[in-house]
Amino acid sequence: MLAGFSLTIALLATVLLGAAATAWLWLVRRRQGETTAGIQALAEMRWREFSRLVVEALRTRGFEAESVEQTLERGPQAELRLIRDGRTWLLACKLAAARTRLAAASVRELAEAVRFNGASGGILATPARIPAEARKAGDGLELFDGDALWALVGPMLPASLRDDLTLSARRRSVRETAIAWAGALAVGVILGFVPGMTRDAPVEAAPAIETPAPAASAPQPSPRAPASQSVPTDPMLAAPADPNRDQFERGEVIHAVAALPWVERVLWSTSSTLVIQQRDDVDQLQVNEVCGVLARYDALRASRLQLQPPAGSERKVRFLQCRAY
């Protein structure tokens, strides 16, 4: 068996496979590992630390923040105001696990806030992944996640933390390179035996095959149409089971209330206050329509309503509550 072994083929296959694997591991895989570890480190930060880091990174792009500390006191739902070239931008920092998907409601909420405040644009930064459907909801916004987020805030991290991430990625590449060369050697040895096995294999004559006459094809039954499946329309059933459930429900409330004919704009000013800019003066009957929307969600049915009178109206701002806690 060893007489048929080709050392040249074995060495050539081992070197080519090992070199290709090494190049990919160090030029591609190592950078991916360093980025993944960096994003994980960002996800483990506190929300205030993460928000300050994003603000510092955006300063290198010409943005200046207004009242950062006062805004951070309002919690993760607050948007920070940024100024660039005399124009106002809104920044939303959504802290979540690196492997989770950000709900489209979070992106839609920022887009509504940009329109409500008349801002020139909006920026959303998150360690989570922003799926395609969420990106469609944020048309016109600047979205930073994954590699884009790391490219933005990575240079702002302390040098010691960046060095630790680089060292960890390098050690992993060394281990994976050793495994790759061992695998390349095994494949090279196997390929070295192939020429001898091919040369020694007897050649057998192929048996004659009779071609049967084609049988008359039976008519195929027409496929039955699949039974229609009912699609749940209850918003509670449509909500994704993920950590962003609360943001999803708030976005659904904004979408439903904004569709009412007497509503001009709607926005969550705080986690428990819904601001509604009226297009026309309304009475309690129309307000009950908003209460009906809030009643669909257990966490929001006791929210407070702030009714802004329409332009030119003599009415004052009204504060109502659909249901007590």
Angle at CA 129, nearest 5°, toward 126 and 131? 125
CATH number belonging to the domain at 1-199, selected among 3.40.50.300, 3.40.109.10, 3.20.20.80, 3.40.1350.10? 3.40.1350.10
Residue 141 is predicted with a pLDDT of 93
Q: What percent of the chain has pLDDT over 70?
A: 84
Q: What is the DSSP letter of 169?
A: H
Angle at CA 63, nearest 5°, toward 44 and 117? 90
> How far apart are alpha carbons 45 and 47 in whole angstroms?
6
Residue 235 binned pLDDT confidence (cut-offs 50, 70, 90): very low
Q: Who's near 157: CB < 8 A, 6+ residues apart?
A: 38, 41, 53
Indicate if the pLDDT at residue 47 is higher than 60.
yes
**Sheet of 304-308, strands arranged across:** 263-270, 273-278, 304-308, 318-321
Indicate if the pLDDT at residue 237 is higher than 50.
no
**How does strand 304-308 pair with strand 273-278?**
parallel
Of 150 and 79, the one with more pLDDT: 150
Domain with CATH 3.40.1350.10 in the chain: 1-199
Indicate if the pLDDT at residue 258 is higher than 70.
yes
Residue among 241, 252, 244, 250 at smallest CA distance from 272: 250
Residue 266 vs residues 46, 190, 252, 278, 319: alpha-carbon distances, Å: 30, 68, 12, 9, 14
Residue 61 vs residues 1, 96, 110, 249: alpha-carbon distances, Å: 67, 24, 20, 33
Domain with CATH 3.30.300 in the chain: 244-321
The domain 244-321 having CATH identifier 3.30.420: the answer here is no
Indicate if the pLDDT at residue 231 is higher than 50.
no
- Stated as kind and residue range, the H or E segment containing 180 is helix 159-200
